[in-house]
Chain A
Amino acid sequence: MPERTLVQAVRDALYEEMERDDRVCVLGQDVGLKGGVFKATEGLQQRFGAERVMDMPLAESSIAAVAQGLALEGFTPVAEMQFADYSYPAFNQIVNEIAKVRYRSNGDFSCPLVIRAPTGGGVRGALYHSQSPEAFYCHVPGLKVVLPSTPADAKGLLKAAIRDRDPVIFLEPKKLYRAERQEVAQGEAALLPLASAAVVRQGTDLTVVTYGYMRAVTMQAAAKLSPDGIEVEVIDLRTLRPWDVEACVRSIQKTGRLAIVYEANRTGGFGAEVAAELAERCFASLDAPVSRIASPDVPAMPFSPALEHAFMLNPDKVADGLRRVARY
């Protein structure tokens, strides 16, 4: 199997799905000859032409709206928002239009499409290239939300998202785009189901539910706790809506403790939903309060390295938080 970075895996998924199904098309700013600002669509226009890989005007609402129009007509568009922070001008199209098409037409219409966007920080992107807006979209019935953390997951889940019959918001942690290479399967063997979490570290003392870039941070934190005799079980949700509640419940029944680690700011983040649901489901199994380890409630991640470092969770901060839960 070839070794791929996460962004190469995204590109491979698009390539394979476009080869497989000529209804699949790509649209967004700079997705054409440039191949996207992160190279996620590199070579696609050369292979599939300027219609199926369409450079769009710099107007996110119309990117979402045109994708919707194509989907309503039976095409399968994969729209790129250059940064997740820039999806907000398309918020009405996504939340009021795309997400509600099936419901408001009582099943007469549907709108299967994918909106991809790089998400998260830690790359000196500052306030407007670092945000983690997944909670906004997870709040919306009718949308599915995927947030992978490895090349293989990104490829398998993007292929599944493209084949899904409902609209999917597909958020790609930009800090992981080139962080590691991994062997990634090709074709049908690469496919992964949505809504299935992965237990990525076995442990007996504490369950951590996380996703995206925070998976790697949590794994490093877990390694720091191991010498102290604290064995952390780490669950990568991979799909946030719908999310794999049962996998989390099984783990908590074993460990009796739960922390959620997420990169977005703390209040109203998706981790709050995970905490509430699992507290309700697992009350009798829990030996300690459910804890959220998240970014501070400031508007966004600043540009200065000192401030960015102060904002971002890192293995030490996460390890401190996990130790408190383990010792409660």
Chain B
Amino acid sequence: MNPNNNRLGWTFTSPYLIYSLVFFLGPLLWSFYLAFTNWDMIAPSYEFVGFDNFVKAFRSAGVQSAFWVTYKFMLVFVPLVIAMSLVVSVLIHGLPRFKSLFLIGFFLPYLSSGVVSALIVKGFLSYNSPMNEWLRGIGININWLGGPWSALFVVGLIMAWKFTGYYALILTSGLESIDREIYEAAAIDGVSNTSRFWRITLPLLYPALYTTLILAFGVTFGIFTEVYQLTGGGPNFATNTWQMEIFSQAFKNLQAGYASAVALLASLATFVSIFLIRKLLELWGKRNGWV
């Protein structure tokens, strides 16, 4: 080993090391500290309040809603985005021409800013919009962002629109790794279309599907822009995500101490949930003998 390499290695990695010290480890420790204080971001002095912030958080409607809203978003977003990206990838994989043109086209929504997609959707759902006029014509009058489940559905749909093309890319490359000969052999053996999907496609697609599912579940823990822009967490906390709750407590109500406690709970909920989801997905694969 070249002794020079030690110095060189640390020099080359130093940007990351400094960054992680200032913007990861430092804030992490500070956050734990703040969570036990009642600091309001302005007052020069503050007190230690023990577990008061956590007790308050458990009882608050905002935190309780943030906890459940995440899983409700999963219920809406994950099946929607997986179904949409599966449809897209099954349609376009193996197309003899224009396949990459399609892939690029479907990927475009992923480049959108949440602010822009929220603006478009808000216009599209406004009272006098063509769609709502038409719906009223057939006797349906929906205040899309006014109802708790419809608001959740609208935000879930925006997210699904955004991520479909990206996940379809992953699934398409998964589908393409499946050997055509397997299908041909199955066709000769007279395997039906449905059992072909369950016995061949799904098991061989499992690795790509696993990646997609993990990414999709992860997305639900970080929703902010769309909700901030469209509903502000409402109606009545129905779309109040963790990020929204922490943002409001810290930067609107200036409760730095309390918001840090909420952020700690949010991280814990995220960490445990993702861990369990991973384990369940792996178990699902193992049980069926796909891994």
A, B bound: no
